[in-house]
Amino acid sequence: MSTAFIIESILLGIGLAMDAFSSSAVNGLNEPEMSKQKMLLIAGTFGLFQGLMPLIGWFCVHEIADAFESFRKLTPLLALVLLLYIGGKMLISGIRGGDGEKPALGLKDLMIQGIATSIDALSVGFTIAEYGFGLAAVSSLIIGLVTFVICIGGVLVGKAFGTKLSAHAQILGGCILIFIGLKIFFGF
């Protein structure tokens, strides 16, 4: 394990964490009074998925490469559908307005966000395929930890803006999640 390996893993983590950062910011935007425990849960969920997906991708390369290659073509569509679902729910809820009470982020929606924003991390398994299992696991751990830290920042940024934009936070958050889904699907 070299310094270059650690730096490469950190850079992979930063690159992979951008969609998770955006989703974390949306969650903070939607719930500006969020507790520290929930912030840790959100960041932990994104960190867990971003850390596990490269390892799953590594496993697929070594064990089931042909089947994974077929699935890999569907991952942008899956991410789009999942993020359209969550973003659409937020958008509709924000447009309807309701009683001013924003629904808190549920565990189901958080899991969907975690999966949707980390699907592209499966392909990182190809880039770390030459590593043995130990190095692949360490790289995945670093990616997960970097994502965790970045997502804590995302929630804090979202909370700061959520307080200022509370009337339109759900609409903005829903639009951001839909945009992330479109970005993943169309690759821009």
**pLDDT tens-place values along the chain, 188 residues long:** 789 899 988 988 888 888 888 889 888 888 888 899 999 999 999 999 999 999 988 888 777 766 666 666 777 777 777 777 777 877 787 777 654 555 567 888 889 888 888 887 877 777 787 888 999 999 999 999 999 999 999 999 988 886 666 556 667 767 777 887 787 778 76
How many domains does the chain contain in total? 1
* Among candidate residues 112, 33, 126, the one with its CA nearest the CA of residue 72: 126
C-alpha dihedral, 78 to 49 to 176 to 70, nearest 10°: -20
**Is there a contact between 152 and 15 (Cβ–Cβ < 8 Å)?**
no
CA–CA–CA angle 1, 142, 153 (5° rounding): 150
Q: Residue 125: which domain range?
A: 3-186
**Is there a contact between 102 and 129 (Cβ–Cβ < 8 Å)?**
no
